[in-house]
Amino acid sequence: MLFELIITLVLGILAGTITGIIPGIHINLVATILLSVIAIINLSQNQAIVFIISMAITHTFFDFIPSIFLGAPDSDTALSILPGHEFLLKGSGHHAVLLTLTGSILSIILLFAITPLVTFLIPRIYPFIQQMLGFFLIWTSIFLITRKKKAILITTIIFALAGFLGIAALNSNISEPLLPLLSGLFGASTLVNSIQTNSIIPKQVISKFKITKKELIKPAIATTIVSPIAALFPGVGSSQAAIIGSQVTGKLNENQFLILLGSINTLIMASSFLILFLIQKTRTGAANALLQIIDLDQTNIKIIFATILVTTLFVIPITINTSKIFAKNIHKINYSKISIAILLFLTTIILFFSGVIGFLIFIVSTILGITCLKVGVSKSILMSSLLIPTTLWYLPFF
């Protein structure tokens, strides 16, 4: 039995590695497919737990690699393109990946540290949080618009347009609406801009990684505060949580922001399994897949936490070495050709999963993303595409 679980763990890590480095593939999309796969291969309950958990956690470690090196995000890594691409253009793409990896490791430590407190608090404060979330998101929206006083008008226009686009996409009844929406706003627009400006990727430097304990404090505090909240509510993803978290602790430098993104991304995934057991709510596709096949008892939660820990220990060196492979080879290839290839790939998977309507959303969101770049507005404002629909969902009078 132990041997079978080890094999299942290895297969889960392999699956998470593959899905993590494929541009534009979100773990929720994979989890949807997983349910039918598990039924076909007839895994035992324990094997299913180990496979889903190991794959999901591995995916969160790896999915920053295509965002940083290729400019192809999913909804959880969209904001990493902004500082990540800057690191890449400075020859430090590997450093950027190590920052997100540091965040992921930090999140696992935090998970085990805050679990007793979360277990006590969440069932008690969940009703209150649910009532107040809409108003909290309104505050977040106002802050995002007004933080740069000189560009309030154009920022407001782009914020509103992205919000309306998000509402249209999420109400379009297409499969995987976030795929064309986020791929266009953050991925394709960055890729098109790179082609237009003929970006040249310099040779990447793989130097000794250094991070001070002081730089970890703000990301750790922000992650601890916002991740449990984000883990409770559909529509509040890693990117929105990172925006909120970065304001909770004050201004973050580029290193800290990437650490924050990595930690929130992994902690939301990991804590979603704990939330499942506490209030029977599924925040992620992986948690929903788990709910379909297991009993919610103490034995299973122990298996989940053990799998998270073992997976993390295995995945750390694999992530580092995979990033090194990307870093050593990315400058050898014509980046414009890479960008065109990724655009074609994204177009293909969008047409496959989201159809013609999804493709139209992809085109419009790409144009809006390019506009944002041309007028000099921070792309983080485009997260209104999820922020506005989420706010409307949680306001009591809508």
**Number of folded domains that form the chain:** 1
Helices 45-62 and 2-21 cross at an angle (nearest 10°) of 30
Over residues 58-94, the pLDDT tens digits come to 999 998 888 888 765 554 555 555 677 778 888 888 9
Phi, psi of 174, deg, nearest 5? -90, 160
Instruction: Please choose, from the candidates 149, 181, 175, the residue with its C-alpha nearest in 3D space to the C-alpha of residue 163.
Output: 181
Residue recorded with tokens 């999420």: 170
Kindly report which listed range (102-106, 157-161, 164-168, 299-303) carries the lowest average pLDDT score.
299-303
Kindly report which listed range (5-14, 23-32, 95-104, 255-264) carries the lowest average pLDDT score.
23-32
- Residue 127's CB is within 10 A of a number of other CB atoms, namely 10
Over residues 90-122, the pLDDT tens digits come to 888 899 999 999 999 999 999 999 889 888 888
Question: Is the CB of residue 153 less than 8 Å from the CB of residue 161?
Answer: no
> Would 385 be classed as within a structural domain?
yes
Look up residue 96 and give its two tokens: 């950027």
Alpha-carbon distance of 383 to 260, in angstroms, equals: 16
> Would 215 be classed as within a structural domain?
no
> Would 181 be classed as within a structural domain?
yes
Q: Where residue 338 falls among pLDDT bands split at 50, 70, 90?
A: confident
> Would 213 be classed as within a structural domain?
no
Instruction: Find the domain containing 356 and state its range.
Output: 2-202+222-394
Alpha-carbon distance of 307 to 55, in angstroms, equals: 10
Could you tell me how far CA 292 lies from the centroid of its own chain?
23
> Would 122 be classed as within a structural domain?
yes
Look up residue 131 and give its two tokens: 């009532």
- Mapping DSSP to helix (H, G, I), strand (E, B) and coil, where does residue 295 land? coil
Residue recorded with tokens 């008690």: 124
- Mapping DSSP to helix (H, G, I), strand (E, B) and coil, where does residue 79 land? helix
> Would 211 be classed as within a structural domain?
no
> Would 214 be classed as within a structural domain?
no
Reported pTM: 0.79
Over residues 184-234, the pLDDT tens digits come to 887 788 778 777 766 677 888 888 888 888 889 888 888 888 877 677 765
Q: Where residue 318 falls among pLDDT bands split at 50, 70, 90?
A: very high
CA angle 29, 33, 38 (to 5 degrees): 140
Instruction: Please choose, from the candidates 46, 44, 45, 58, the residue with its C-alpha nearest in 3D space to the C-alpha of residue 12.
Output: 58
What pLDDT, on a 0 to 100 scale, did the predictor assign at position 82? 62
> Would 189 be classed as within a structural domain?
yes
